[in-house]
Amino acid sequence: MHDPPSTGRPKIAVTVGDPTGVGPEIVCRAVMRPQVFQHAMPLIVGDAMAMERAWNLLSSNAGRGPRPPWVQASERDPWGVPPGSVPLLSPVPLHLEDIPYGDPSEKAARSVIRNIEAAVSLALQRQVDAVVTGPIHKGRLHRSGFLFPGHTEFLKHLTGARTVVMMLAGPKLRVSLATIHCALRQVPELLTAEGLADTIRITGEALIRDFGLAAPRLAVCGLNPHAGEEGAFGREEIELIRPVVERFEKESFRVSGPHPADTLFWRAFHGEFDAVVALYHDQGLIPVKLVHFDRAVNVSLGLPIIRTSVDHGTAYDIAGTGKADASSLLEAIAVAALMARNRRAAEAG
């Protein structure tokens, strides 16, 4: 057995995601960066063939240098690789015909799911300190029988967590979502007092424990235009949101709202709040991606493990062209490492 995860640089399992999207390319770009190894020990979980193809693409564009030192590893002893190398776990080895760009075979889709399971299992066994996920194509996975809307809900299931909150965190704007992957017309019925209260509490506690803020300020969006305009444009603000916000008067984090959503993100971006609680996916993700598409990180809060992810998708339109930007993945690794260090410090008292 090798270094326990409680010492040294955090060990981070990085899943490649869909092998026919930009995942392998951005993972390859990330492990070509020496800075990554200053704050983390990455372990790649994904198909070896897809990783070799990504390396060939990048080296043919940029001139051949040494290939990043990934070495096939086993799930039983994932860190049992030579010093200086990066373990690569490939639970379901694929052939090239399984992974034409933008079109994963049935087997490739199954491998995506299996890779996530393997990374989560390593985190639950504390063989790694955190999991960082590459992008998956939800539609293609659903076609292959995947029952979950996305990683977030799958990770809740795999870890047995009671609830999970999706946060998108960028340098100047953090947003948590009270509802995640659902049709817009379902939002009002899925928005419950208990669900909203969980989102607020989990976000406030994570800002303190994982992000190191002393007294975070949270602001909750209204659902309707102008936060309902005193009931003229809807009553959710009066009947649901305000009573939940009032429950948080005596916490170590401050909560205000409901605020009109059209101006709230601008106020948060300029420093008035540490996080915004948005009520549905696009209300929160449009502003974050508008200002931070290259830097934002998707963080799953409320799980017994640390999980971060890129904010972007599989980008099939540019897969195989060598144009993918790895900035969001690099941030996701850096944020996971920071969270792991903060949790260690909290555990050590």
Residue ranges of the annotated binding site for a divalent metal cation are 181, 226, 281
Known binding residues for substrate are 151-152, 289, 298, 307
Residues 6+ apart with CB under 8 A from 213: 207, 274
Span near ligand NAI by CB under 6 A; candidates 46-54, 136-144, 194-202, 246-254? 136-144
- Which residues in 112-143 are b (16+ Cβ under 10 Å) and which e? bbebbebbbbbbeeebbbbbbbbbbbbebbee
If one asks whether residue 150 binds ligand LD2JLWAY (CB under 6 A), the answer comes out as: yes
**What is the size of the binding site for ligand NAI (CB under 6 A)?**
20
- Judged by beta carbon, residue 15 or residue 127, the one nearer ligand NAI is 15
If one asks whether residue 285 binds ligand LD2JLWAY (CB under 6 A), the answer comes out as: yes
The SS3 assignment for 13 reads: strand
Partner touching 325 among ligand LD2JLWAY, ligand NAI, none, CB below 5 to 8 Å by kind: ligand NAI
Residue from 317, 321, 345, 346 touching ligand NAI (CB under 6 A): that is 317
CA 96 to each of CA 50, 104, 105, 183: distance values in angstroms, whole numbers, following the listed order = 8, 10, 10, 36
- Judged by beta carbon, residue 65 or residue 139, the one nearer ligand NAI is 139
The SS3 assignment for 65 reads: coil
Question: Among all chains, which residue has been given the structure tokens 């916490």?
Answer: 251
- Judged by beta carbon, residue 58 or residue 167, the one nearer ligand LD2JLWAY is 167
The SS3 assignment for 31 reads: helix
How many residues belong to the chain?
349
The SS3 assignment for 201 reads: helix
If one asks whether residue 318 binds ligand NAI (CB under 6 A), the answer comes out as: yes
DSSP string for 250-265 = TSSSEEEEEE-HHHHH
Phi, psi of 151 (to 5 degrees): -55, -45
Contact 168, 298 (CB under 8 A): yes
- Of residues 259, 279, 101, 268, the one with CA closest to residue 177: 279
- The 109-148 contact track toward ligand LD2JLWAY, x by CB under 6 A, reads ---------------------------x------------
- Judged by beta carbon, residue 213 or residue 318, the one nearer ligand NAI is 318
Q: Least distance (Å) from ligand NAI to the CB of residue 93? A: 22
Which residues contribute to the site for ligand LD2JLWAY (CB under 6 A)? 136, 150-152, 285, 298, 309
Which residues contribute to the site for ligand NAI (CB under 6 A)? 17, 22, 26, 135-139, 151, 298, 309-310, 312-315, 317-318, 324-325
